[in-house]
Amino acid sequence: MKKAFLLAVAAIVTAAPFAAQAQFAKPEDAIKYRKAAFTVMASHFGRNAPVVRGERPFNAQEAAANAAIVETMSTLPFAAFGPGTDKGDTKAKPEIWTDTAKFNTAKDNMIKAVAEFNAAAKSGNEAAFKAAFGNVGKTCKGCHDDFRKE
Ligand code: ASC
């Protein structure tokens, strides 16, 4: 009984570092997943650009619907940067895994800016929405400059 318990604890402790990876059967699946999450996020963020540029009228309901999706998507890709996902069909730079603290800061900055963008969209304040859009764009670009290959 005691031995079985210790074996179970040992198994859990050993498996813990692979917890994030275990969500995906193969590294390719993780890469596909994070790219898909970024694609959906970029679509619902980017479609606001014509509004911000003044080429399309601001529609509070539409802005809020898009921003809510962007916020939901914003945290999802990061469980998919586990070990072994640095190789393959990816533009991810090795620095993600060698300068992880910096990558995590960039990630946190983006998630925070997106939350502020969603709050601004919900408020219906067009000027706040446009300013928050710009702030999110900066965090996208900053992370791409440092951590995504051309
Ligand atoms: C987008 C999108 C990005 C960012 C970035 C901002 O709409 O797809 O990756 O904005 O271009 O500089």
Q: For the segment 5-41, what is each residue's pLDDT rounded down to a tens digit?
A: 666 555 554 554 445 557 999 999 999 999 999 999 9
C-alpha–C-alpha distance, residues 120 and 92, integer Å = 31
Ligand 1 centroid to residue 2 C-alpha, Å = 55
- pLDDT tens digits for 100-128? 999 999 999 999 999 999 999 999 999 99
C-alpha–C-alpha distance, residues 31 and 28, integer Å = 5
Q: Is 88 in the pocket of ligand 1 (CB under 6 A)?
A: no
For residues 66 and 47, the answer to whether their CB atoms sit within 8 Å is: yes
The residue whose CB lies within 8 Å of the most ligand 1 atoms, and thus the one to mutate among 51, 107, 130, 141, is: 141
pTM (2 d.p.): 0.86
- 130: Cα separation from own chain's centroid: 21
Nearest-atom number in ligand 1 for the CA of 49 is 7
